[in-house]
Amino acid sequence: MSTQQQDHNNEHKYDALALFSGGLDSILAVKLIQQQNLRVLALHFFSPFFGKPHKIQEWEKEYGFEILPIDVGEEFIKIVKNPKHGHGSYLNPCIDCKILMIKKAKELLPLFNAKFIITGEVIGQRPMSQRKDTMNLIKKEAGVEDLLLRPLCAKNLPPTQIEKENIVDRSKLLDLRGRSRKRQLEIAKKFNIKKIPTPAGGCLLTDPEMANRFKKVLANIKDPSVYDFEICKIGRHFWSNKNWLIIGRNHKENLLITKMVREIDIVLKLSQIPGPIGLIRAHKTKTLSPNLIYYASQLIIKYSKAKSMRRAVKIQIATLDVVKEQEVIPELNTLLDKNPWIGPI
Instruction: State the residues that interact with ligand SF4 by CB under 6 A.
Output: 50, 92-94, 97-98, 129, 201, 203, 205-206
CB of 67 to ligand SF4, least distance (A): 16
Cis-peptide into 344, omega within 30 deg: yes
Q: How far is the CB of 335 from ligand SF4 (least distance, A)?
A: 38
Cβ nearer to ligand SF4, comparing 140 with 252: 140
Nearer Cβ to ligand SF4 (119/240):
119
Of 34 and 119, the one with the shorter C-beta distance to ligand SF4 is: 119
Nearer CB in complex with ligand SF4: 92/134: 92
Cβ at position 9, least distance to ligand SF4 in Å: 26
For helices 56-63 and 24-34, the axis angle rounded to 10 degrees is 50
What is the Cα–Cα distance from 226 to 265, expressed in whole angstroms? 16
DSSP label at residue 287? G
Nearer CB in complex with ligand SF4: 106/115: 106
First to last CA, the chain: 40
Q: Which is nearer to ligand SF4, 77 or 293 (CB)?
A: 77
Q: How far is the CB of 49 from ligand SF4 (least distance, A)?
A: 6
CB of 133 to ligand SF4, least distance (A): 16
| CA distances, 41 to each of 17, 65, 113, 118, 147 (Å) | 5, 7, 11, 10, 15
- The DSSP bridge partners found for residue 118 are 18, 149
Taken in order 87, 92, 93, 98, the sign of the CA dihedral is: negative
Cβ contact 281:225 at 8 Å: no
Minimum CB separation of residue 93 from ligand SF4 in Å reads 6
